[in-house]
Amino acid sequence: MRTRPSLIAAVALALVLVGLGFWMVVAGWPQQTPTQNTLLDLAQLPMAGAVLVGIVEMTWTRRLWLRSPKVFASVFGPAGFALLLGIVLVVVAYGTSLKAYSGTGQLFIWVGVGLAFVYLAVDSLRREVTDPRTLLFEEVDDEDTPQGANHLVGSWDDDEDADAEGQLDVRDTETH
């Protein structure tokens, strides 16, 4: 299996961003100076950037905008808007004396990243479900199967909890 260079670069960049975020938390932890407060307040931004790097890499390699452009635009449009609005609010908060907007801006950033991430998760599930490869069980023709070889199909006639019609009586079964 060959590893894509873009994947290696994305992993390296994401690791650097996570390391930066951890450093910002550790450096800002004492909260004794305004710089330490700012570091601690903004420490989640590199973490969001690390997630965003993964989202961009997966979106680029899968060419998601080509599959269903309308759905892609209806999810990534609002996600991009929320992300940009969040960045603007954080910049305004630290460019002026309105520090209260920093938290709101970071919320919008995470909403944008979250929308894009959910889209990728749904796409991954859709790809997995529509994958033609057999993952657990293979269909077997009854003609090709020797008698007794299929252990998943059996007779329910000898089941103690079945009534005369072969139906399972739920009232008689124990719940654990």
Six-digit token string for 54 = 């993964």
132 φ, ψ to 5°? -75, -10
Q: Say how many domains are in the chain.
A: 1
Contact 147, 110 (CB under 8 A): no
In a domain, 150, yes or no: no
- Helix (H), strand (E) counts: the chain: 6, 0
pLDDT tens over the chain, length 176 residues: 678 899 999 999 999 999 999 999 999 999 999 999 999 999 999 999 999 999 999 999 999 999 889 999 999 999 999 999 999 999 999 999 888 899 999 999 999 999 999 999 999 888 777 656 554 555 555 555 555 554 444 444 444 444 455 454 445 444 44
CB-count exposure of residue 24 (10 Å: 0-12, 13-18, 19+): buried
Neighbouring CB atoms inside 10 A of 76's CB total 19
Q: At what angle do helices 69-95 and 44-62 cross, to 10 degrees?
A: 160
Classify each residue of 117-128 as buried b or exposed e, where b means 16 or more C-beta atoms within 10 Å of its C-beta.
bebbeebeeeee
In a domain, 48, yes or no: yes
| Angstrom distance (rounded) from CA 129 to CA 167 | 32
Q: What is the pLDDT of residues 28-55, one digit of tens each?
A: 999 999 999 999 999 999 999 999 999 9
Question: Range of 68's domain?
Answer: 5-129
In a domain, 158, yes or no: no
In a domain, 107, yes or no: yes
In a domain, 75, yes or no: yes
In a domain, 55, yes or no: yes
Return the DSSP state at 174. Answer: -
